[in-house]
Amino acid sequence: MKLEGKTALITGGGRGIGKAIAKRYVEAGANVVIASRKMEVLEATARELSGGPGRIHPVACHVGRKDQIEALVAETGRVFGPVDILVNNSGTNVGQGPALEVTDEALLKTTEVNVLAALRLIRLTVPKMIERGGAPDRRLRGGSFCAERSFARPSASLPPDKDAITFGHSGISGGWKARGRDRRNGNSKTARGNQGSRSPERNSDAARHARPTCPARR
């Protein structure tokens, strides 16, 4: 994978899967912005990954807040230029417990972080990708934590065995995974919820699957 000169934006990039993806992208030569709420975690990750051919820049951002998302994209453009690769990796799961005990506030917060934040970032970055022309290295990756597939994917018209999204004939496409229950091919399995507790081997495997190589569908 060669990403020299490309700009990647990764939310939840300070640890776990996001950190593993950032490592792969920096090693491939991309300039990477990592974002999350805790600046101290981001700075530690940036220092750790600073030896690669690509550059890395931390930005504190609460993705549940629209103004901070807008500032994140603006800062990315100022430091590295327009986004070529967007990884919507941030997620939360506030409403754990019996369904009848989940509050409106918990559901709204989960939806805002897991779904609305990703849509806002897509709206802020994809139009500029299209203006510059679709390319194999302009990609979206993402998912929402413990969300049903039909709710997490931005396009409900996709068949249930597909994880790709496309934007017309722009050549820009990407993967969208719901980190929850997967019933494809008769299987039923639940992903681990705590990204930070994943082993390095699992994080590395997740990063390999996050490579922006899925073909654009016409």
Q: Where exactly are the structural domains of the chain?
A: 7-209
* Higher per-residue pLDDT: 114 or 161: 114
How open is the CA angle 35-30-15, to the nearest 5 degrees?
35
Could you give the CA distance from residue 39 to residue 204 in angstroms, rounded to a whole number?
23
* Phi, psi angle pair for 169, to nearest 5°: -105, 30
Give me the mean pLDDT over the 121-129 stretch.
94
Question: 4-48, pLDDT tens digit by residue?
Answer: 999 999 999 999 999 999 999 999 999 999 999 999 999 999 999
Q: Is 87 helix (H, G, I), strand (E, B) or coil?
A: strand
* Higher per-residue pLDDT: 90 or 97: 90
> Residue 88's pLDDT band (boundaries 50, 70, 90)?
very high
Are the C-beta atoms of 73 and 55 separated by less than 8 Å? Answer: no
Question: 133-158, pLDDT tens digit by residue?
Answer: 755 555 555 543 333 333 444 433 33
pTM of the model: 0.70
Residue whose entry in the numeric block shows the structure tokens 């934040």: 117
121: which 2 tokens? 């970032």
Q: Is 194 helix (H, G, I), strand (E, B) or coil?
A: coil
105: which 2 tokens? 């506030």
Mean of the per-residue pLDDT values for the chain? 75
- Match domain 7-209 to its CATH number in 3.30.70.20, 2.60.120.10, 3.40.1180.10, 3.40.50.720: 3.40.50.720
> What per-residue confidence (pLDDT) applies to 97?
80
Q: Is the pLDDT of residue 84 over 60?
A: yes
110: which 2 tokens? 């989960």
Burial class (CB in 10 A: 0-12, 13-18, 19+), 98: exposed
